[in-house]
Amino acid sequence: MGYEFILYDRQPDDIGVITINRPKVLNALNWQTLRELREFFEYLLPKENLKSLIITGAGDRAFVAGADILEMYNMKDREFQEYVDFAHKVYELIESVPSPCIAAINGYALGGGCELALSCDIRVASEKAKLGFPEVKLGIFPGWGGTQRVTRILGLGRTKELVFTGEMIDANEAFRVGLVEKVVPHESVMEEARRIAHTIANRGPIGVRLAKIAINAGSEMDLKKALLLEKTLVSLCFDSEDRIEGMKAFLDKREPTFKGK
């Protein structure tokens, strides 16, 4: 499938970059963009075997300014339900892919755009970025995981303030409350995302992938079950060639060469 609204670039070190490419509408997500994201994450990404993936927005103003309001306005009831259901599937897919995903937030991350960033593992924001959930201004509320993923990060009070007022916060406030992990000068946002991606790409890939499962799945369990999951997964790492290489490299005082085996 050729892509109309996303760009995919495979870079050295097994790092991929996905760019949402609708800059004229601040990269608003329409059905077709969601379909392309699903196609990429479900069918192409597993073949690419990436060590890390960056998601960003085209142009200089926006990561993603939310769902496409014009398209939503023209939807019938049933179609809207299917659209929401589809978006949920895509975001759950992004959250669960083995490669760690980094959101490079290069401007507005609103509504579905903020929810997309929250489906990624790590968020780096430009100091010009603005984040928020303006949906209540449109007579709806954030329904692509927003009320749930944000609550798990910010807690009930801050989430309600953001969701009920629909007001945007700037990157520094987003950092202060834990919605993004880093704020960098505008022109450095991709450079910082790449730096993190490269660092991850040089770690033991099995360890990174299993840690992602332990953290994501464990956060949905009670502590006893989560600790059991952690024990099981870390024991799987111990059976890998990478574990032998990583520990031997330390003892030999050299950098490890991991094979992902």
Catalytic residue positions? 115, 135
Binding letters toward ligand COA, positions 111-150, x by CB under 6 A: xx---------------------xx--x------------
Contact 130, 105 (CB under 8 A): no
- The distance of closest approach from Cβ of residue 78 to ligand COA in the complex, given in angstroms and rounded to an integer, is 19
Tokens for 200, please give them. 């991850």
- The distance of closest approach from Cβ of residue 34 to ligand COA in the complex, given in angstroms and rounded to an integer, is 13
Q: Considering only the stretches 32-40, 41-49, 109-117, 173-181, report the one whose residues sit in contact with ligand COA under the rule CB under 6 A.
A: 109-117
CB atoms within 10 A of CB 84: 16
Q: Considering only the stretches 103-111, 120-128, 184-192, 194-202, report the one whose residues sit in contact with ligand COA under the rule CB under 6 A.
A: 103-111
Contact 154, 162 (CB under 8 A): yes
Helix, strand, or coil here: 55? strand
Q: Considering only the stretches 20-28, 51-59, 121-129, 218-226, report the one whose residues sit in contact with ligand COA under the rule CB under 6 A.
A: 20-28
Query: Of 59-88, which residues contact ligand COA (CB under 6 A)?
Result: 65-70
Q: Report the residue count for the chain.
A: 261
Nearer to ligand COA, 36 or 242 (CB): 36
Nearer to ligand COA, 145 or 207 (CB): 145
Eight-class DSSP state of 29:
B
- The distance of closest approach from Cβ of residue 29 to ligand COA in the complex, given in angstroms and rounded to an integer, is 8
Q: What is the dihedral of CA 82, 84, 85, 91, to 10 degrees?
A: 140
Contacts for 23 with CB less than 8 Å, ≥ 6 apart:
57, 58, 59, 61, 62
- The distance of closest approach from Cβ of residue 33 to ligand COA in the complex, given in angstroms and rounded to an integer, is 11
b/e map 46-79, b = 16+ CB within 10 Å? eeeebbbbbbbbbbeebbbbbbbbebbeeeeeee
Interface with ligand COA: number of residues (CB under 6 A): 16
Contact 163, 133 (CB under 8 A): yes
Of the candidate residues 40, 41, 83, 108, the single one contacting ligand COA (CB under 6 A) = 108
Binding site for ligand COA (CB under 6 A): 25-26, 28, 65-70, 108, 110-112, 134-135, 138
